[in-house]
């Protein structure tokens, strides 16, 4: 019988073929990609987006002022509403660190909640939406839809400012 030697060869080479296929399946493919580093939106671009959102909500954006959060700490408001006491501060990590405990901690259970702080003394009626630059990260090299790109970060920033302004209007903030 001629087919008998072929069957013996096939049974002997089966474990070898399984080993080769196993090696190819486990490590023969391309190395996994590491994520590209992300960075926050640049402050000038972020401030432009914030000012545009103010205009979209019928508020005239003006350069903000400093608002006292404590006797030693003042918050620089990046964009304010003309003639009103509310605005937006876009904070970098060093700015947050400098404010220390004067900046209330964010609720870890409500990561996307807007953080609105009030001033003290003469600034007690000021309401400032504090936005962290680290919430608006993007990847300059984003090639896939799943990776955050600058447009995604910009749209999120615009949405957050718009949401704050809707709240400011609804609550008739001064």
Distance CA 46, CA 28 (A): 44
| Number of helices (H), then strands (E), in the chain | 4, 9
pLDDT at position 107 is 82
Give the pLDDT of residue 100: 92
- Dig out the tokens for 28 from the structure: 């023969």
Of all residues in the chain, what percent carry a pLDDT higher than 90? 60
Mean pLDDT for the chain overall? 83
Question: What mean pLDDT do residues 60-75 have?
Answer: 94
Compute the distance between CA of residue 89 and CA of residue 161 in angstroms, rounded to an integer: 10
pLDDT of res. 79: 98
**Residue 34 has what pLDDT?**
53
Mean pLDDT, range 36-54, rounded to an integer: 92
Give the pLDDT band of residue 15 (cuts 50, 70, 90): low
CA pair distance 79, 61, nearest whole angstrom? 6
* Cα→Cα distances 147→37, 41, 111, Å: 11, 15, 20
pLDDT digits (tens, 9 = 90+) for 143-158: 555 556 788 899 999 9
Q: Above 80 in pLDDT, residue 17?
A: no
């Amino acid at each position: 019988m001629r087919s008998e030697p072929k069957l013996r060869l096939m049974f002997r080479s089966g474990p070898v073929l399984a080993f080769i296929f196993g090696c190819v399946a486990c490590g023969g493919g391309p190395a996994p990609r590491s994520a590209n580093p992300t960075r926050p939106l640049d402050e000038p671009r972020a401030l432009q987006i914030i000012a545009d959102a103010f205009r979209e909500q019928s508020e005239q954006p003006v350069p903000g002022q400093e608002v006292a959060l404590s006797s030693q700490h003042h918050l620089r408001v990046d964009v304010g509403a003309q003639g009103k006491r509310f605005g937006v501060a876009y904070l970098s990590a060093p700015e947050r660190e400098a404010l220390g405990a004067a900046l209330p901690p964010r609720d870890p259970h409500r990561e996307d909640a807007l953080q609105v702080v009030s001033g003290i003394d003469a600034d007690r009626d000021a309401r400032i939406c504090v936005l962290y630059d680290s919430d608006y990260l993007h990847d300059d090299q984003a090639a896939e839809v799943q990776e955050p790109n600058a447009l995604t970060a910009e749209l999120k920033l615009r949405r957050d400012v718009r949401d704050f302004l809707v709240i400011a209007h609804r609550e008739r903030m001064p």
